Structure 1
Amino acid sequence: MKVSVICPVYNGEKYLKNLFSEVREQENIEFIEIIAPISKSSDNSLEEAKKYADIAYEVNNFNHGRTRHEAALKANGDYLVFITQDIVPVDKLWLYNLIKDLSDKTVAAFSKQIAYKEHGEIEKLIREFNYPDMRRICSKENAEINGRKNIFYSDAASVIIKEEFFRLGGYNFIVPTNEDVVLANNIIKNGKSFIYEPNSKIYHSHKLSFKENYKRYEDIGKFEKLYSKEIDFSNTSGEGKKLVIFVIKNLLKKGKILELGYFGIDILVRLLGYRKERK
């Protein structure tokens, strides 16, 4: 397996030494190349990346899609692995388990995400809902079974066969967020499939303020409006309701009353941000 790992970086100096060391220590992989496009940062991200990555360079105008695509053009591996700077592999088989079942038909996969211990119960439950232990194959044939999850895909830790990536147009577009959803939709529209692989595990979660969540969901609403004619988002609200019910039930079961109140405000903030742009 010859793998190119692409990790966009912004103010990520504190993550890079540990993250890139963990990537290089992955087992059963013949060749690992690390490519780090660095957005202009206020720390020493560029200098630090040059120490530990094979290719590190500064990006003037970051975009979630186009920046990743331009990095992929520099890749020498047969597989493109996209990660974010704030993940940590759970074990040394994360990468192998992510890649091992790809084929001519199943051209991509993404990892299970586990919340960091220091993050709150809400974030842990959201990750538990979105990243269960059951493997899922997403394809045209499974669209009815999977519902909205059929185009649920995260490039916080994902892989795609490089040849297929470019055949599908890759990430060669400008988006406010959710470039991975566009790619997932293109995979399925072209008769291919991708896997949610729960045996490939990473730690990844956020501790965002209400303001940050508002902006995040504002971008999601903007994205869905932009792609409303190309991608079917009709099941989004239904999946969102399932998530809310799951979190509330488990917070009540655990007696997390304060977290329940916080979650109510957080959901309202996300909804307001989403609806602002989705109208």
Structure 2
Amino acid sequence: MSVENISVIIPTLNAGTMIDDLLSALERQTIAPAEIIVVDSSSDDDTQAIVRAKHPEVRLLVIDRKDFNHGGTRDYALRESSGEFVCFLTQDALPKNNEFLARIIGPFSAERVAVVYGRQLPRADARPAERIVREYSYRPQSHRVTNADVKRLGINAFRVSDVCAAYRRSAYLEVGGFENPVLTNEDMFIAARFLRAGWTIVYEADAQVVHSHNFTFKQQFNRNYIQGVEITRHSDILGNAELAGEGFSMLAYTLKELFKEGEIVEAARFFTECIFRYTGNRKGVLDAKRAARKSAGQ
């Protein structure tokens, strides 16, 4: 596989404290990308200055902040890129080692693989619950998913994360690319379209980035509200699968591990956090259904 086939795209907003480390890590990869594109949403900090001064070979695209959305901005950057394979990274996802690109691009040797996503390892400062949630969501075993697995896996069949994911350009264009606009989960929705079209999704556990968050209760509510809205809006392509069942499984697993570690206070905090997650999700679902009924009645 020619290394000239790989483009890397990084959407940024006020990434001044992390963009240098990320770009430097990409420049040390054993497989060098043909191009790196940073698409910046008019940052207020020195993100753009760092890219221009320290990484002049990186292509910098600047958009108005109001024009950013998770699907449309990534679609714009992909269509500006040239690689046969396009790897998306978020600004706060740092490759674990110099083999990241080689690992995430490897499964494309199989012709019907449309997207490969990698394993997210928690940061050193991750709360105990966040560390366990990452371990639950991103296991050490790689696997492949086809349309035949949807009935068995439910919502998990569509699990892909653009925190670190690579796409085959021809497959991406075949299914129409990311939606524009979409508030979140653009990766999940295109994954569903890939499976319906007969493509394969790969989780490559050896393609690793360090990435985690210590969100507040309010942030969890807002994130899950938006997910509830978008997943309800896309219930047709997702086969009416819901997040609730998976959420309860994650809750049970995380609480069990926290109790085993003696993290009683953290377990109580995590249980409270899950109430905010669930409440946000349910409100998003109800608001999306209400909006759909209103639209249908007009």
Structure 2 residue corresponding to 1:10, chosen from 8, 13, 17: 13
Structure 2 residue corresponding to 1:55, chosen from 55, 59, 77: 59
Per the alignment, residue 93 of structure 2 pairs with 87
Aligned counterparts of 2:150 and 2:6: Cα–Cα separation in 1: 30
Q: C-alpha offsets along residues 207-261 of structure 1, whole Å, 9 cap, x if unaligned?
A: 1111111111111011112112222242522211110000010011001011011
Q: Is the 8 A contact 1:11 1:42 kept in 2?
A: yes
Q: Is the 8 A contact 1:89 1:201 kept in 2?
A: yes
SS in 2 for 1:48: helix
Aligned counterparts of 1:266 and 1:30: Cα–Cα separation in 2: 40
TM-score of the aligned structures, taking structure 1 as reference length: 0.96
How many percent identity over aligned positions? 26
RMSD of aligned residue pairs (Cα, Å): 1.3
Q: What is the Cα deviation at residue 155 of structure 1?
A: 0.7
Q: What is the Cα deviation at residue 133 of structure 1?
A: 1.1
Q: Is the 8 A contact 1:109 1:159 kept in 2?
A: yes
Per the alignment, residue 26 of structure 2 pairs with 23
SS in 2 for 1:213: helix
Task: Tell me if 1:101 matches 2:103.
Answer: no
Task: Tell me if 1:141 matches 2:148.
Answer: yes
Q: How does 1:61-72 map to 2 (within 5 A)?
A: 61-72=67-78
TM-score of the aligned structures, taking structure 2 as reference length: 0.90
Q: Is the 8 A contact 1:24 1:32 kept in 2?
A: no
Q: Is the 8 A contact 1:88 1:202 kept in 2?
A: yes
Length, aligned pairs only: 278
Q: Is the 8 A contact 1:80 1:160 kept in 2?
A: yes
Amino acid at match of 2:28: E
Q: Is the 8 A contact 1:81 1:159 kept in 2?
A: yes
Aligned counterparts of 1:202 and 1:273: Cα–Cα separation in 2: 28
Per the alignment, residue 157 of structure 2 pairs with 150
Where does structure 2 lack aligned partners over 5 or more consecutive residues? 287-298
Aligned counterparts of 2:239 and 2:52: Cα–Cα separation in 1: 41
Q: C-alpha offsets along residues 31-64 of structure 1, whole Å, 9 cap, x if unaligned?
A: 4311111112221222223342621121111000
Amino acid at match of 2:120: Q
Per the alignment, residue 38 of structure 1 pairs with 40
Where does structure 1 lack aligned partners over 5 or more consecutive residues? none
Aligned counterparts of 1:274 and 1:31: Cα–Cα separation in 2: 38
SS in 2 for 1:175: coil
Aligned counterparts of 2:199 and 2:69: Cα–Cα separation in 1: 26
Structure 1 residue corresponding to 2:213, chosen from 203, 206, 209: 206
Structure 2 residue corresponding to 1:76, chosen from 73, 82, 85: 82
Amino acid at match of 1:24: E
Q: Is the 8 A contact 1:46 1:57 kept in 2?
A: no
Task: Tell me if 1:186 matches 2:190.
Answer: no
Task: Tell me if 1:114 matches 2:121.
Answer: yes
Task: Tell me if 1:215 matches 2:214.
Answer: no
SS in 1 for 2:219: helix
Moved >6 Å (runs of 4+)? none
Aligned counterparts of 1:212 and 1:30: Cα–Cα separation in 2: 36
Q: Is the 8 A contact 2:9 2:87 kept in 1?
A: yes
Q: C-alpha offsets along residues 6-25 of structure 1, whole Å, 9 cap, x if unaligned?
A: 10000101111110110111
Aligned counterparts of 2:270 and 2:32: Cα–Cα separation in 1: 45
